[in-house]
Structure 1
């Protein structure tokens, strides 16, 4: 791919703007040599304004989402994309979240521009577990774990039962729940069906991938080994 197209696809600007950037010497290799539009320099060796390029196509990002941000590109208010560099909004292919967390849910959120990878993560065949930490308004009654694990629980307005889910009770009002599917507001609806209300909700893990070392609001690109943990 020509350098001008590569930079434009990464969201640094239009092709015309990238031609100007190259002409002005803002695009170099790691030795400081100016690059030309047809330079064959490897992606990892290209610098834009003395900074390494953003990850190439096929990237998977991990974000520690704070409460108050919406998983959308169009809604009003604070969006998860506000926590990423502005240019990420105009990458081609587009960067999409892998599933969603509602506005009042925090924790682990993935993004990718790789449609095949996205569908692999969310496919029922992959059976990727998702772990949530939660706090409830009222004490647990004691029968929730058996109900969630039964594979017979039905949510209102749905016509098929939930897959078995594992509930680990931490104390009277806090618990850890592991799901193997991702229905709309599933955790909140499950507890609502038992007469309780989820006051705080955080996704802490997808597969064997967690948020270790990543502060709230921070993001990073995943290595191949980290991506593999999703399916571990």
Structure 2
């Protein structure tokens, strides 16, 4: 791939804008030597304004989504993409969220430009566990765990019961819930079915991968080890 197209695909600008970067001497190699558009060298040796290029396609990110942000490209208000460098919104192929968290839900959110990886995580047959921590408006009654684990709970407007889920009670109004599906507002609707209401909701893990020490609004690139923790090493693509 030509360097102009490579750099443009990473979102640094249009091809015309990237061509001007070359003319201005802003594109160099790792030794500081100015590059030209028809040069050929590995991506890891290319620098723009002295900084390494962003990772190539196949990128996966782990983000701690704050409350108040939407997993959308077009909605009004604050978007999760606003938490990334502006050029990340211009990458080709585009970054997409792996599933969604609603505006009032915080916690672990994955983004990737790898369509196969995205599908592998969200496909129902993958049974990837998502762990949520909730605080509730009312005390737990004590029978919620049995109901959620039964595989018989039917939500309003649904035609099939939910797959079994595991409830870990942490306090009278505090619990963790592990689910393997991703139905619309599923956790909130599950507790609503018991006559309770979720006041705060945070996703704290996907598969075996947790948020680590990321503060709300922070993000980092995922490693192969991270991906293996989400979908398992045997299933990891590539």
Q: Name the structure 2 match of 1:190.
A: 190
Listed as ranges, the gaps of 5+ residues in structure 2 are: 233-238
Shift of 1:226: 1.1
Structure 1 residue 165: Cα displacement: 0.2
Partner of 1:24: 24
- Contact preservation (8 Å) 2:130, 2:179: yes
Contact 2:120 2:231 in 1 (8 A): no
Aligned to 1:157: 157
Aligned pair count reads: 232
User: In the aligned structure 2, how far is the partner of 1:2 from the partner of 1:225?
Assistant: 31
Give the superposition deviation at 1:133.
0.6
Structure 1 alignment gaps of length 5 or more: none
RMSD between aligned residues? 0.8
Residue in 2 that maps onto 1:44: 44
TM-score (norm 1): 0.98
What's the counterpart of residue 91 of structure 1? 91
Counterpart of 2:167 in structure 1 is 167
Aligned to 2:63: 63
CA deviation after TM superposition for structure 1 residue 52, in Å: 1.1
Give yes or no for the alignment of 1:76 onto 2:76: yes
Instruction: Encode CA deviations 1:127-177: one digit per residue, 9 max, x unaligned.
Output: 100000110000000000000000000000000000000000001000000
Aligned-pair CA distance for 1:41: 1.7
Partner of 1:213: 213
Q: TM-score, normalised by structure 2?
A: 0.96
Would you say 1:105 and 2:105 are equivalent positions? yes
